[in-house]
Amino acid sequence: MIWFIALVLSAVSVYWMGWRIKNKKLLDISDQLPGPPTIPILGNALQIVGPPEELTNTVGRYLKEYGDLFRVWIGPDLNIFVNDPDDIKTLLKSQKTSIKGPQYKYIKDYCGSGLLSGSGPSWRICRKTVLPNYGKKALEAYDEVINDEANATVKRFMTKAGGRTFDIYDDIVLGTTYTVCRTLMGLTKEQTMNLPNMNIKFLHEAHDMYLTVFMRMTLWYLQVDPFYWMTKYYQRQKDLIKKITEIANTNVKHRLQVLESMDKNKINEILNAEGDSTHNTELSVIDRLLLSNQLPSQEELVKQWFTLFTASQEATAKITSYALLMMAYHPKCQEKVYAEIKEVFGDNVRDVTEDD
């Protein structure tokens, strides 16, 4: 037994020393950065890996102790935390930092190699394909829909108002979902309302998908596929992907019918247009993906659909909810916002315009 333990320890030691020699350059970079002490093999995994709230507290503590730039090791993976906005801007603009880390592989089951989880040339091609629909001028073409769904959201709030506490997120995410479907996804109001599985239960499941992905990123035993396949999270993943596929296929079917009826010269004119324009929205992002011939399979198209969907409606809902929550926490700021609205609109009940 002693010989077996000694043999295992010797093998681990040899592997560890070989790894250090092979990754000497990476270790030299790490030595130049501040960060918490590490232990062999695991690095800082014991401090970093865990529930989201614990990770947030740990990173906050490291920021105070080591500053806006520090490193941690999660096993053999070097992770560098950047907190300064100027540094983050530099990284986001650099062509050399478009390769995402290995942790992103867990979101690829849902989103493929798209804007959220893709890297390098394929990521840049996908971004270039859909970018025309996200320009400032292009977004102006969506004003009518945005106003319509904002008004509908306010009406839902009014049915719950009256001094009692309620969760605003469900009403907001419903509004942002309908907005995204009627703008970027190219659906009518009626088509949006009739999408299969498009209800608040599905939106909650899509939201919980991020929690599952984060758990796989931070809990080592969920990174072991055979074990993960036996958990409830894998069953939820399969159920969610099935629903996503049904919704995406319905959306694609509607857009293919539109493309078949459009003039081919008009389509080429829009695709080849340069610069930001409201005319860019005459093709939806789904149209642009279909016409790009960049997607190798229907499965990848479904994943790209979900990437664009969740990146748009989920993020917008969270930002809006956070802004309203902050106003609730700061009544004086709320009063200033209300005064500004009254100054611009007076007692008129009308849509918001770009001039406002």
Cα–Cα distance for residue pair 254/246, rounded to 1 Å = 13
| Residue 43 sits in the same domain as residue 148 | no
Which range of residues forms the domain containing residue 44? 26-83
- pLDDT the model gives residue 128: 84
**What is the 8-class DSSP label of residue 348?**
-
- pLDDT the model gives residue 46: 83
Cα–Cα distance for residue pair 211/71, rounded to 1 Å = 24
The reply to whether 101 falls in a domain is: no
| Residue 210 sits in the same domain as residue 143 | yes
| Residue 64 sits in the same domain as residue 131 | no
Cα–Cα distance for residue pair 288/271, rounded to 1 Å = 8
Q: Mention every residue, 6+ apart, whose C-beta is less than 8 A from residue 236.
A: 205, 208, 212
- pLDDT the model gives residue 279: 84
The reply to whether 272 falls in a domain is: yes
Q: What pTM, to 2 d.p., does this model score?
A: 0.81
Q: Chunked in runs of 10, what are the mean pLDDT values of the chain (356 residues)?
A: 76 77 85 90 81 83 93 86 91 76 80 72 79 88 94 92 85 95 94 93 91 85 90 94 94 93 90 85 91 80 88 91 93 93 86 81
| Residue 197 sits in the same domain as residue 330 | yes
| Residue 49 sits in the same domain as residue 192 | no
The reply to whether 268 falls in a domain is: yes
Domain count, the chain: 2
The reply to whether 67 falls in a domain is: yes
| Residue 185 sits in the same domain as residue 277 | yes
3-state helix, strand, coil in the chain (%, to 5): 70, 5, 25
| Residue 40 sits in the same domain as residue 158 | no
- pLDDT the model gives residue 6: 76
- pLDDT the model gives residue 347: 83
Q: What is the CATH number of the domain that holds 173?
A: 1.10.630.10
Is there a contact between 72 and 43 (Cβ–Cβ < 8 Å)?
Answer: yes
Is there a contact between 146 and 252 (Cβ–Cβ < 8 Å)?
Answer: no
The reply to whether 120 falls in a domain is: no
| Residue 155 sits in the same domain as residue 260 | yes
The reply to whether 20 falls in a domain is: no
The reply to whether 104 falls in a domain is: no
